[in-house]
Amino acid sequence: MRSKMRMEIKPQRPCMVTGLPGAAGVAKLSADYLVKQLNGELFEELYSDAFPPHVLIKKDGTVELLRNELYYCKNVKSKSDLIVFTGNTQAVSSEGQYEIANETLARARRLGVVKLFATAAYVVEKPAEKPVVHGAASDTSLIEELKEYGVAPMDTGSITGTNGLLFGLAVLQDIPSVCLLSETPAYTTATGRFVVDAKAAKALLEVLTKMLGVEIDMKPLDEEAKLSEEFTRRMEEIEQRTIDEVRKAAASRSPKEQMYT
């Protein structure tokens, strides 16, 4: 892994929020949205041979390597400054994921991070009217705090990838940590790409911003959330229609021919 430092920072009692691309883009969208709304400044870039071996050609024709990024959000009208860890990829190999997570946490310790908030998706079968935000924490007092913000505490389950490792390794390294997971059906397109679920990200950010004590404009995300909701509704419709048609076709066959019921 290599890093490119863009500027030195001296944050005051910072909290760290982490969110890399994962199921339904919930974690990444949450992190990106925070950075945008709080005018975060990119201060360090992380590059790794464990990232997928391709680059991105952007719309303006410039090339960009896959990377993870650390942003500094200063004076966010709370007791703490904020550091946000995000990026356009996750490492592919297990070794790479551990390395990136450990390197990020080493930076968290060096910068005096007082609390880490990891974000992730909580995949459910059906889209929820209002996505529930589930949570886990490094100690019982933080679990009690989560309950005060309406978060449903989790005691089982797993969180795969770097988003999960960041929380797990932070716990192991005695960094006070919280993991927030927002419910999403995590629909994918025919080519296997996740459909970004802004509604889930919005639910997560409503809790996260309260816990951080920061205020952000949610209107642009509201618009995105409405689009996500509409998309999800249509996906559900298509799914249901397909099931109905298959059942109808199966029912019209003789019992001997029936394969699906």
Partner 1 sequence: MTELVGIVASRGMRSIGIIAIDYLIKKLQPKLIDEVYSTHFPVIHETQPSYAAHPDYPGIPGIWLQKVGAALPKIEFYLSDSPRLLLTRGYHANFQGQYEVAEQVLDICEKHSVERLFVLAGYGVGEGEVCCAATDIGLVEELKTRNIGTGYEGPFMGFSGLVLGLAKLRGIKGVCLFGRSKPSVEDPEYPDPQAARKVLEALSGILDLSLDLSGFDEKQPAQPELRVIGS
Q: Can you give the binding site for partner 1, defined by CB under 8 A?
A: 4, 47, 49, 51, 53-65, 92-93
For residue 15, give the amino acid letter. C
What does DSSP assign to residue 154?
Answer: -
- CB nearer to partner 1: give 63 or 259: 63
Residue 29: CB minimum distance to partner 1, A = 20
- CB nearer to partner 1: give 4 or 226: 4
Rounded distance, CA 135 to CA 178, Å? Answer: 7
DSSP string for residues in 92-128: SSHHHHHHHHHHHHHHHHHTT--EEEEEEEEE-SS--
Rounded distance, CA 143 to CA 49, Å? Answer: 37
- CB nearer to partner 1: give 46 or 73: 46
Q: Give kind and range of the element (H or E) at residue 144.
A: helix 140-148
Residue 67: CB minimum distance to partner 1, A = 9
Three-state secondary structure call for residue 196: coil
Among candidate residues 45, 126, 143, 10, the one with its CA nearest the CA of residue 134 = 143
- CB nearer to partner 1: give 50 or 120: 50
CB 28 within 8 A of CB 59: no
DSSP string for residues in 202-243: HHHHHHHHHHHT-----HHHHHHHHHHHHHHHHHHHHHHHHH
Residue 200: CB minimum distance to partner 1, A = 25
- CB nearer to partner 1: give 1 or 124: 1
Residue 6: CB minimum distance to partner 1, A = 13
Residue 46: CB minimum distance to partner 1, A = 12
- CB nearer to partner 1: give 58 or 219: 58
- CB nearer to partner 1: give 95 or 230: 95
Residue 70: CB minimum distance to partner 1, A = 16
Rounded distance, CA 220 to CA 200, Å? Answer: 14
Backbone angles phi, psi at 100, to 5 degrees: -65, -45
Residue 196: CB minimum distance to partner 1, A = 17
Chain center to CA of 89? 12
